[in-house]
Amino acid sequence: MAAAVVTATVRNGALRGTSGNGALSFKGIPYGDTTAGANRFKAPQPVRDWTGERDATRYGALSPQINTGMSEPIFGWYNQREPQGEDCLVLNVFTPDLDTQAKRPVMFYIHGGGYINGGGGGAGLDGSNLARYGDVVVVTINHRLNAFGYTNLSHLDPENFGDASNAGNLDIVAALEWVRDNIAVFGGDRSSVTVFGQSGGGSKIMTLLAMPKAQGLFHRAISMSGAAGLNVDPAADMEPYVNALIKELGVDPKDLAALQQIPAQVVLDARSRAVASSFEGARPVIDGKHIVTRPMTPEGLAMHAKVPLMMGSTKTEASLFFQSDMRNFNLEEKQTRARLRTAYKIGDAKVDAIMSAYRKASPEMTPSDILVAVASDVQFRLPLTGAAEVRSGAAGQAPVYMYNFGWTIPWENGVLGSPHAVDIPFAFGTVNEAGAMTGGGDAAMETSMNMMSAFVSFARTGNPNNDRMPEWRPYDSDTRTTMLINETCEAASDWRGDGLREVSDLKIDPFNRAALYQYHD
């Protein structure tokens, strides 16, 4: 049965969307002009008006990227098959109806994939179920990524290419401005916008908190596994990578306009070669203009003091990265100990303390369980918890809430536990579409409704408490409350705190990740 056609008119023209699954959807709506040619490496340009009805029934182009999906079939819900292209500044809107007086909360999702790949479409990110369940308006977006979104050219030509370093984030700001100007058409409230995003999307949210141009465009923020955005580095740190990229492309540093005419795939290939010699690659930077500080510095805290914040991670984030070799999940004690010593450059006494701290809370943990827990905590939970400590300890700040998502996926008898990205379909209410991973069934749906209820309540009021969960107190250094989200939920105090404190000083060399994640006897 064909979906019913619906129409809506925004500032730039009329749109033709569809009705189905209890909600209306409008896809591939442009919020900025093409980024090709003379617009490449520039701030996003305004949308051009169109005549007639624009087809908004299909997702738009993905930003040029190297890899658009996960390798395992269980992540099929995440994969997107839209074509790539530089006319990629598009967004999608899902709403219960077009009542312009409804003033529904707006939930604005920023996709993951680090800063190098991903998109706002696919079965898992269909916002229809969340819009219907929560009586909210859901927006998902595409924006520039990789070399096209985050290439710091300011040290070579600040006058003409001073916006290139954070172009991807400027795209997100432009999308938020579009929401401000148009969302009432879809029943949304421009004064109640919650940004939420997973992994790279959560990290981009952290950087938005420190962008003056983004201030006032959103009012609440949820960062799902977005730890990387807490440590934005100065623009100068990206100069070696950019210099290597320019060299790979054979462009005269004094004639950067030539970069705008090189085929996109050639740029992507050169970026891959440049990263091999300069690990940093493309990501946002503190340029003093668009991103002015790290989010949890005193200056950053002042910028987002009035924005309630929710942050969280999955229970076994890092299991996804160990999954390339399944032997990683059946390690002997001596193998885990050796891996910890080598990856984190620590001695036996420290390894003893770490193993003991994790087993104090969970005596049943196997050597592999501990390795996954340490990697998950060091890369994700520790930075996010540290941010919560800073935010909650500063005067005059809106509350911060912490969660840990614990649904165990049944694949391979649950060996991955709750891996990185598992929480996305639960937040969107798309567990049936992601059934190959989630397992489906009543328990999965209950977990999804728990998560959606918390996110919707937070989007509506800045407080995630709802009648499906026990009391959820804001995080503070005394109680360290974390909501453990699953089929049933628990408000835990200082969850696994001993283990977290024991690994609080661990660091890993980016060039030495193989010592942690690759199997070896």
* DSSP β-ladder status, 400-405 and 4-10: unpaired
Write the DSSP symbol of residue 377: I
- The pTM assigned to this predicted structure is 0.97
| Residue 293 near residue 299, CB atoms below 8 Å | yes
Report the alpha-carbon distance of residue 88 to residue 94 in Å, rounded.
19
What residues are annotated to the active site? 199, 317, 420
For the cut 60, the answer to whether the pLDDT of residue 208 exceeds it is: yes
* CA angle centred on 30, ends 78 and 218, rounded to 5°: 75
pLDDT tens digit sequence for 475-492: 999 999 999 999 999 999
pLDDT tens digit sequence for 154-189: 999 999 999 999 999 999 999 999 999 999 999 999
Q: Where are the domains of the chain?
A: 4-244+282-307, 312-517
Quick check: do 4-244+282-307 and 312-517 share a fold? yes
| Residue 29 near residue 10, CB atoms below 8 Å | yes
CATH fold, domain 312-517, is Rossmann fold (3.40.50)
| Residue 379 near residue 227, CB atoms below 8 Å | yes
User: What is the predicted pLDDT for the residue at 49?
Assistant: 97
* CA angle centred on 76, ends 127 and 263, rounded to 5°: 90
For the cut 60, the answer to whether the pLDDT of residue 257 exceeds it is: yes
CATH 2.60.40.10 fits 4-244+282-307, yes or no: no
Task: Tell me the pLDDT band of 512, cut-offs 50, 70 and 90.
Answer: confident
Can you name the residues that pair with 390 across neighbouring β-strands?
none
Report the alpha-carbon distance of residue 99 to residue 277 in Å, rounded.
54
Report the alpha-carbon distance of residue 238 to residue 232 in Å, rounded.
11
Longest dimension (CA), the chain: 71
pLDDT tens digit sequence for 286-320: 999 999 999 999 999 999 999 999 999 999 999 99
Q: H-type helices in 91-238, by residue range? A: 128-134, 146-149, 158-161, 167-182, 200-208
